[in-house]
Each structure stands twice: as structure tokens, then as C-alpha cells.
Amino acid sequence: MVVGQIIGGEYGELLVRQKSGQIIEIGDLLSIDDIILQVYDLAYGSLLEDTDIARMSGMQLEGYDDTSLMEEEIRNYVSAKAKPLVHVKKGVAKIPKRLPGFFGTVDRVKKDDFYFMEEPENSLYLGKVRSGSMVLDVPVKINGKEALSHHILIPATTGRGKSNLVKVMLWDMVPKEWCGVLVIDPHDEYFGRNEIGIKDHHDARDKVLYYSPNPPKGGYSLRINISLLRPWNLRGIIDITDAQSQAMYVYYNIYHDNWLKAILRAEAEDAKAHGIHETTLNVLQRKLQLSFDVRMVNGEVVPRGSIFVTQGSDNMVNEIADALEDGKKVILDTSSMSGDKELLIAGMITDRVFNRYKKYKELGELDSKPTIGIVIEEAPRVLGERGGRNVFHSIAREGRKFRVGLIAITQLSSMIPREILANMNTKIILGNEMKSEREAIIGSAAQDLSKDGKNIASLDKGEALVSSIFTKFAVPIKIDLFDDVVEGGRKKTKLEFFG
């Protein structure tokens, strides 16, 4: 259906005159020849002089007779600015390098225009192609295995659908063998303890593990024996001075697994013998007691809470790492923990997996392993400047060499160093009204999104723009509502069952 005509502009900035009776919106996809355009701005156009328009408006407002324009739809119009998104040549998507025909008419895109989109290997479903606010029945899938190891960033303001998107992605990944996913869930919203969630997937029983400090039936207890901690697990997560850090390493080198207990028990004399200042020891002891929720009773380390323990549970980190390596999805309910504890635990597990994968790489065994994804909320907590050199930083920098990637969720991309942002090679951009945030995202995207500021600002709940080195162009999508996906999954299972 013809919605307009090209009346001017230049490469990357075409002017389309809207046909009267048609409505073109920001974000709409239009097609002309074999090129798909995307509208990024709208303005009025008129053949009349400004003064004439003002005079006529005055007459209409003040009640003078018949001032209606002859052929108004010809004189006044809406003009849309559009940029070429993709050029389809013999079924293959290319970056457009030419202008569509001058004065050519443009149509709205149809499902068939996307015949070139094919099913990638190890696919990960994200949503459906969206033209403005209209959804087309064209699924958007990326090569998930590649995308995951090159990190996925999900930036948006609160309430735009980040969590919903992660649920939709997890649902799709549950049965897939090419990835293991660790979900650190500070809102306990993914498993679906009390509502619909990942647990409702028909493969969940075999493929999903749920760890919680107070697990429901079928879940596992989230408890960590403090002997599993290593000094480097604290790096970039707990504020520690160099002197304190050195003290930890001194004890670790002497006492190995028992280093933490040894520090907590240490007397000033003992520390002095290892070259550690009394005040350093005292402050460190207090910090460690606080971080790990333990206290000293008659020279013994006693847990105060239920998460960090001194006896038993010494295999949890390995169990989780095994499950991930087995392509399972592991959800950690960290909703009852302080941020520090959450990150300590997440960091320990991540560190274990990362080290194993480094080893596999050395041994040349990486190809037989699933890619590991780590879902982390409020990512700037660990990726921001303050984070220093924690394991998440290391993964963001070099994880892709070892097939370990982050799925980083954030409201504040601007707090993540540019170098790391640029390393996140797939960005699923949801709505954001903050200009500084949009600029940080646009400045580090895989495609040129310099014209997409308004487009991103106007994204509604569940509407997104996928910019990835694994897509030929920045694909506008509508993400399904998770509840609908679950419902659809149920119907399908029923059909299979009876069919």
C-alpha cells in the first residue's frame, strides 16, 4: 500500500512525503525497490508561505467565513525523514549503498519483504519484526551461541520490559544444549516461585536448577561454605585497601582453604609475625565478619545467617559449575541478600566457571562445551569504574575467547566504561527517555544509530531495537509478553500430546 513518495534528501536522510489519509509514525518501516527504510523523524511541510499560513489560521480562529483551502491535501502535508536500513539483493541483506529512485513511491513493509531473514544456527528467539508500533509475523532470531559469548546488553529505563525480555530469552534457551545460563536474580522473578515463570517450561524439571536460601520443593539450598572463598573473590566487590588485600593473600598462602578462618581468629602478635599491622588486621576482621555474616565465639567462627556457613555445603559451587557445563539453566534467588553478598556468591561461581573454561581452552576442549551466559541485573555495580578488576570485568574484556558471556541488564549504560560497552556486541535497546543514556548506547552500538535518538525515546513497553554484529541491520522488534509465550508453549505441548 502506497503511503508516500520520495521527494528529496540525501543518503541516510531521505525525505518522504506522506500520502494524505495515510499515517506514518516514527520507527515505521517503509519499502521501496529492494530497500527497507526506517522513519526517524517527522515534520510538517506546506507549499504556503509562513505568513499566509499565519493569516489563514488567524481568520479561522477569529471566525471569518470560508477560509478553507482549495486542495488542502496537496498544499499541506507531513514529511518523514527516513534512513535506508537494509538492501535486499537476491535474497541477501546488504548495507544499502545507493539511493532509491527519486520520486519513487514507498509502501509499508509486509511480511514478505523479510523473506531474506533466515533461521541462524543455535538460534535465540528475541521477538517479532516491528514497524513503528505494528508487529509483523516475522520472528527475529540471532545466533545465540555467538551472541552470548560476545555479551548481550539490555539497557532501558525501569518498567520498559527488561525482565520480561530476559524471561522470554530464558524460556527459549531452557531446552537448548548450546548454552548454560547462570541467572543472578535479585528480585526472585524468573523461576516463578509464586507465579508463572521458567519453572513452567515442560523441560524445566530436567534443565532448570533453582537455588534459594529458602527453597521450595524441588529447589536447592543456597549455602556457601566460607572455605570456598578466595581472596580474589572480594576484588572489585568489597572495598578493600591494598594493605588489607595483601594481608588476605599472606594468610591464603599459608592456610589455603582455611585462610578466612585463620584471619578471623588471628591475634595481633600472629599478624605481626607475618608483617601485618594490627590496625589492618582489626579493620579487615571487622569487614570480613560483616561481609560473610559471621562472628567469633570463643575463638570459633560462627555463622550468623544461613547463607555463609562453616560446615557442609562445600560442593555447591562445583555442582552449579557442572550443571552449567551440562547446558543447564541455574537460577539463584538472591532476593534476601545484600548486594555485596549477592555479588560475592555470583562472583565465586562465575570465577569457577571462567577458570574451568580457560583450562578447556588450553586443552583445546572448548568446542565441545556449551557457551555460558551470566545474567546480571544492574550491571554497573560490577562493570562500573568502581568495580575494578572483578571477574565480571575480566569476562566483559576477554570472555569471548573462552565462550563465557554476560547478559548485562542496566538502567545506566553511561556508568559502564566505554570500552566495555563497545565490547558488548549485541544490544537489545528498550525505551529510554534519558538523553545521556541513549547517547551512551548509541555511541557504542554495532550499527550507526546516530539518527535513532527519537526512535529509542519513543519505544513503548516491550518494543526494542536490536543492534548486533550478528544482525545485518538494527532490527526493530516487539518482544512477546512472557505470559503469552508460556500460554503458547502449553498449547503446543497439548497439540503434540494429542496429535
Q: Which residues pair with 6 in a beta bridge?
A: 16
List residues binding Mg ion (CB under 5 A). Answer: 162-163
Query: What does the alpha-carbon distance between residue 370 and residue 174 come to, in Å, rounded to a whole number?
Result: 13
Contact 222, 332 (CB under 8 A): yes
Closest approach, Cβ 478 to Mg ion, in A, equals 18
Partner from Mg ion, ligand ADP, none contacting 368, C-beta within 5 to 8 A by type: none
Count of residues of this chain found to bind ligand ADP when the rule CB under 6 A is applied: 12
Of 263 and 479, nearer to Mg ion (C-beta) is 479
Contact 123, 144 (CB under 8 A): yes
Among residues 101 and 339, whose Cβ is nearest to Mg ion? 339
Report the partner that residue 87 touches, choosing among ligand ADP, Mg ion, none (CB closer than 5 to 8 A by kind): none
Task: Convert residues 438-467 into a mask of x (bound to ligand ADP by CB under 6 A) and - (unbound).
Answer: -----------------------xx-----
Nearer to ligand ADP (CB atom), residue 195 or residue 267: 195
CB atoms within 10 A of CB 5: 16
Name which of ligand ADP, Mg ion, none residue 265 binds, using a CB cut-off of 5 to 8 Å depending on partner kind.
none
130 binds ligand ADP, rule: CB under 6 A: no
Q: Which is nearer to ligand ADP, 379 or 479 (CB)?
A: 479
CB closer to ligand ADP out of 132 and 462 = 462
295: its cell numbers: 562472628
Q: By C-beta, is 262 or 457 nearer to ligand ADP? A: 457
Cβ distance 204 to 198 under 8 Å?
Answer: yes
The dihedrals phi and psi of 483, each to the nearest 5 degrees, come to: -60, -35
Residue type at position 444:
S
User: Are 443 and 479 within 8 A, CB to CB?
Assistant: no
CB of 132 to Mg ion, least distance (A): 25
Cβ distance to ligand ADP smaller for residue 134 or 481: 481
Q: Name the minimum Å distance from CB 481 to ligand ADP.
A: 4
CB of 156 to Mg ion, least distance (A): 9
Residue 274 interacts, among ligand ADP, Mg ion, none and using kind-specific CB cut-offs from 5 to 8 Å, with none
Minimum separation from the CB atom of position 34 to ligand ADP (A): 30
The three cell numbers of residue 165 are 525480555
Q: Cβ of residue 97: shortest distance to Mg ion, in angstroms?
A: 40
Shortest CB 164 distance to ligand ADP, Å: 3
Please report the DSSP string for 29-81 in residue order: EEEETTEEEEEEEEEEEESS-HHHHHHHHHHHHTT-S--PPTTHHHHEEEEEE
Compose the 133-172 pattern: x for residues touching ligand ADP by CB under 6 A, - for all others.
-----------------------x-xxxxxxx--------
Supply 255's cell numbers.
592456610
Helix (H) or strand (E) holding 388: none
d(C-alpha 121, C-alpha 144), whole Å: 8
CB of 158 to ligand ADP, least distance (A): 4
Return all residues near 467 (Cβ < 8 A) that are at least 6 apart: 426, 427, 429, 445, 446, 447, 449, 474
Please, which residue, 146 or 377, has the CB nearer to Mg ion?
Answer: 377
The runs of H, that is alpha helices, within 71-200 are 72-75, 144-149, 162-173
Give the one entry of ligand ADP, Mg ion, none that residue 227 binds, where binding means its C-beta sits below a cut-off of 5 to 8 angstroms depending on kind: none
Residues in the chain: 499
Cα 62–chain centre separation: 54
The residue (of 235 and 438) whose beta carbon lies closer to ligand ADP is 438
Query: Phi/psi of residue 157, each to 5°?
Result: -70, 160
Closest approach of ligand ADP to the CB of residue 127, in Å: 7
Residue 99 or 481 having the CB closest to ligand ADP: 481
Whole-number minimum distance, CB 25 to ligand ADP, in Å? 18
Selected binder of ligand ADP within 67, 322, 481, 489 (CB under 6 A) = 481
Minimal CB distance residue for ligand ADP: 462
Q: Which of 172, 206, 148 is nearest to 407 (CA)?
A: 148
* Listed residue (99, 307, 129, 92) closest to 213, CA to CA: 307
Q: What is the DSSP string of 484-499?
A: HHHHHHHHHHHHHHH-
161 binds, among Mg ion, ligand ADP, none (CB under 5 to 8 A by kind): ligand ADP
Q: Does 186 bind ligand ADP (CB under 6 A)?
A: no
479 binds ligand ADP, rule: CB under 6 A: yes
Query: Of 277, 274, 270, which is closest to residue 299 (Cα–Cα)?
Result: 270
Quick one: which of 362, 364, 355, 347 has its CA closest to 325? Answer: 355
By CB under 6 A, name the binding residues for ligand ADP: 156, 158-164, 461-462, 479, 481
